[in-house]
Amino acid sequence: MEEHALSFWISMGVMSAIVGGAMRKMLATHMSAAPTIAALLGVTVLVERLCSLGFPTMLALASLSAFCCLIPGKTPSAPPLPTEGRAVFITGCDSGFGKTAAQRLDAMGFEVFASVLDLSGEGARELQRVCSSRLTLIQMDITQSQEIEQALNRTKAKLGLRGLWGLVNNAGVCVNFGDAELSLMSNYRGCMEVNFFGTLNVTKAFLPLVRQSKGRIVTISSPSGEQPFPCLAAYGASKAALNLFINTLRHELEPWGVKVSTILPSAYKTGQSSNFEYWEHQYKHLLQNLPPGLLEEYGEEYMLETKELFQAYAKTAKEDLTPVINTIADALVSPQPKVRYYAGPGVGLMYFIYNYFPMSVSDCFLQKLFVKKKVLPRALCKQNSNSNNSNSNNNNTDKSYVMKSKKLASGS
């Protein structure tokens, strides 16, 4: 009896150590450890089963030890590649990830070409002030083919016979909020024009220079391009198209020696995300352009709540962009860059749940993580009200029928 108890507590201790270590590893990594975690959890179950079937605890532990020996340990990371003499082109450097990345890569010794929408804007002026003479500012709207061509020609002129080591596709926009049915077609087209077609056009234009140097393509995407975030259909659809294009490109460029990475950041305060005036303008524009019938079915109070939820979510976004900038730098200087980088708190856990848990659990987690709507569309409120009234009338009818039946039965 004592031997059985001892075996039980030893096995429980081993399982606790394995599960605790696996969870700690999952939270500390960017999902690259997910297969190992799954294997460790599987072995935990195996050890527990072996012990419950009467196998000696030491035999179970020996099996576990043999398995752990087969798992390759973490190999020492190779030194980063040199940056001297290498050039990187970054889109969308007026603010946010692009501006901060331009500063970091310039400080690392790269020759940086930073595209901005406004050469006289605050972001461009700050880059000129804090960066070295290696930095070149280029005015470029990625939705304008002529401006892309001009930017390419200017980059070629400065590079001479050299190729381009890195292209960082950062420029993007989120021009809407709200349900898929409520999103205007202009919002869908606007997101696709910038996030997909604009990035596609830039990538195709600069790709020969990247192939020439067997360099890198790094693209800032979004988890909403792979997971159904409520109220982000237009933005998510554009990022989904971008993800598929970049992944296809990754396979096609492998023979050329070009490495392609995608970065999936969590919520950060970039661009217009924390500009409440911008969201107010979007809200008023939506109300003015919705069909009257649709506006009546959903109701202004429903859309007002959505706007307020977006603003509240924007307040919780992280201001420190370091996790994303670190992944951009790693994708450019690592001898073996990752195909996917999960940048920021909670993103790795979210993808782990999305990939390994039932869909119902993933959906519940996503809804609690993002916007938590409480207001129902006006038409649904009316339907529920009518249903309740109908049920109440039916109950009254049933009660009246019962009373009549009792009277008839009593002979009165």
Q: What's the average model confidence in pLDDT over 261-279?
A: 79
Could you tell me the residue range of the domain that residue 234 belongs to? 87-369
State which of 45, 70, 95 marks the end of a domain: 70
Q: Which is more confident, 55 or 208?
A: 208
State which of 338, 354, 369 marks the end of a domain: 369
What's the pTM? 0.76
Of 35-44, 269-278, 360-369, the least confident: 35-44
pLDDT in tens, 308-326: 888 877 777 788 899 999 9
Beta-sheet strand order (sheet of 87-90):
136-139, 111-116, 87-90, 166-169, 216-220, 259-265, 340-343
Question: For residue 170, is it within any domain?
Answer: yes
Domain identity same for 309 and 160: yes
Question: For residue 203, is it within any domain?
Answer: yes
At residue 153, does pLDDT exceed 80? Answer: yes
Question: For residue 22, is it within any domain?
Answer: yes
Domain identity same for 186 and 261: yes
What per-residue confidence (pLDDT) applies to 86?
A: 97
Question: For residue 186, is it within any domain?
Answer: yes
Give the whole-angstrom CA distance, residue 122 versus residue 234: 29
115 and 140 in contact (C-beta within 8 Å)?
yes
Percent of all residues in the chain with a pLDDT value above 90, rounded to a whole number? 49
At residue 403, does pLDDT exceed 60? Answer: no
Domain identity same for 49 and 138: no
Give the whole-angstrom CA distance, residue 405 versus residue 202: 81
Q: Which is more confident, 355 or 322?
A: 322
User: Is residue 306 exposed (0-12), middle (13-18) or buried (19+ Cβ within 10 Å)?
Assistant: buried
Domain identity same for 65 and 176: no
Question: For residue 200, is it within any domain?
Answer: yes
Percent of all residues in the chain with a pLDDT value above 70, rounded to a whole number? 73
Question: For residue 79, is it within any domain?
Answer: no
Domain identity same for 157 and 14: no
Q: Which is more confident, 63 or 118?
A: 118
What per-residue confidence (pLDDT) applies to 319?
A: 82
Domain identity same for 40 and 159: no
Mean pLDDT, the chain, rounded, equals 81
Domain identity same for 22 and 143: no
State which of 21, 37, 70 marks the end of a domain: 70
User: Is residue 55 exposed (0-12), middle (13-18) or buried (19+ Cβ within 10 Å)?
Assistant: middle
- Distance from CA of residue 67 to its chain's centroid? 34
Domain identity same for 141 and 282: yes
pLDDT band of 47, cuts 50, 70, 90: low
pLDDT in tens, 227-251: 888 888 999 999 999 999 999 999 9
Question: For residue 137, is it within any domain?
Answer: yes
Domain identity same for 57 and 93: no
Q: How many domains does the chain have?
A: 2
Domain identity same for 29 and 98: no
Catalytic residue among 188, 235, 342, 351: 235
235: annotated active-site residue: yes
What per-residue confidence (pLDDT) applies to 40?
A: 53
Domain identity same for 66 and 91: no
Domain identity same for 99 and 56: no
Q: Which is more confident, 184 or 18?
A: 184
> What CATH number does residue 282 fall under?
3.40.50.720
Q: Which is more confident, 177 or 3?
A: 177
pLDDT in tens, 129-141: 999 999 999 999 9
Q: Which is more confident, 355 or 89?
A: 89
pLDDT band of 28, cuts 50, 70, 90: very low
Question: For residue 318, is it within any domain?
Answer: yes
Long-range contacts of 362-366, Cβ-Cβ distance < 8 Å, separation of 24 or more: 362/227, 363/228, 366/227, 366/228, 366/229, 366/230
Q: Which is more confident, 332 or 24?
A: 332
Of 76-85, 93-102, 241-250, 265-274, the least confident: 265-274
